[in-house]
Amino acid sequence: MENPELEAERGRRLLEESSEIVLVLDNEDRLVVASRRARETLEGLVPGEVVPEPFLQNEPWRPRRVPVEVNGRRESILYLREPGELAAYEELRAGFTAAVSHELRTPLARLLALLETAALPSADVDELLDQGKAEVENIRELIDDVLFLSELETGRAVVSLASIAAAPVVRQVMDGLAERASRAGVELKIELDEQAQVPLRPRMLRVIVENLAENTIRYAGDGVAFSLSVERVDNDVVIVAADDGVGVSAADLPRLFERFYRADRARASRGTGLGLAIVKHIVTSAGGFVEATSRQGLEIRITFPG
């Protein structure tokens, strides 16, 4: 059986680092402990004292109470939703659903056109079948990315469990992309600090590297060089992905990490428009931050504070 002190410490850290507003109350609604976000958001919280009445009312905080028993004591975990948060979430969900529907219609329309063309007497059926397979693959890729992003946002895909050495994962991913990059006329380069560690699961780091490299392979054009470096800067670990392609316009740059957003030059290329959105979500969930600049080509810099 696991050490009770270790279990208690794990529970304390889970509560402390929760992204939600969480309060633990005794059976008389006195505050036992609160998550960091709760302390930063709510005023008037004092351990050992009754929680202010407005936080217990249905509006505007919409509390959800979960009864628990700890060492024979009755307590409750109270989840609060910040005013306006639900409406904002519903608006985001509606927008996301509309965007997914729009993105699926395009390859489906192309697939239908290919099937109709295949029925013509003079049709090159083999060529049309190959094009149809490509459209189905595009649809599959979009669905996979949507499901993965959904897992990230609902917490089912844990981003960070412990720090890992970045170099072996980066090297493996880049080696796997070498043939595809060569066909696209893109040269891949890496510069790795073998001792640098990032606070990510290996799968999550693989997703980041794949999406950064594939963004160049798909959109940067023939004859481009893509480099990915991992280095320690003071106590931080910095990942820089850079290419020397045509770059991104000043108008497109602020929207680069939005879901389904593609710059004008990328609209004719196949891709889900979710790759960089996934990168940003993983990085920020692990406590890092990401930024993009475009001078000569595109540079994306990821920093994990030490």
Q: How far is CA 160 from the centre of its chain?
A: 12
| pLDDT for the residue numbered 190 | 94
Q: Find the helix or strand (DSSP H, E) in which 191 lies.
A: strand 186-192
Q: What angle do CA 186, 187, 188 make, to 5 degrees?
A: 115
The pLDDT, as a whole number, for residue 197 is: 94
pLDDT at 268: 42
What is the pLDDT, as a whole number, of residue 296?
80
Cβ pair 249, 296 in contact under 8 A: no
Q: How far is CA 57 from the centre of its chain?
A: 34
Residuewise pLDDT in 10s, the chain (306 residues): 456 666 667 677 777 777 778 889 998 899 988 888 888 888 888 889 998 888 888 777 778 888 887 777 888 888 887 765 555 455 545 555 555 665 667 678 878 888 888 888 888 888 888 888 877 877 777 777 677 667 666 665 667 667 889 999 999 999 999 998 999 899 999 999 999 999 988 888 988 999 899 888 887 778 899 999 999 998 899 999 999 887 788 777 878 887 666 554 443 444 556 778 888 888 888 889 999 998 788 999 999 987
Give the domains, in start order, of the chain with CATH numbers. 4-80 (3.30.450.20), 85-154 (1.10.287.130), 164-304 (3.30.565.10)
pLDDT given at position 265: 45
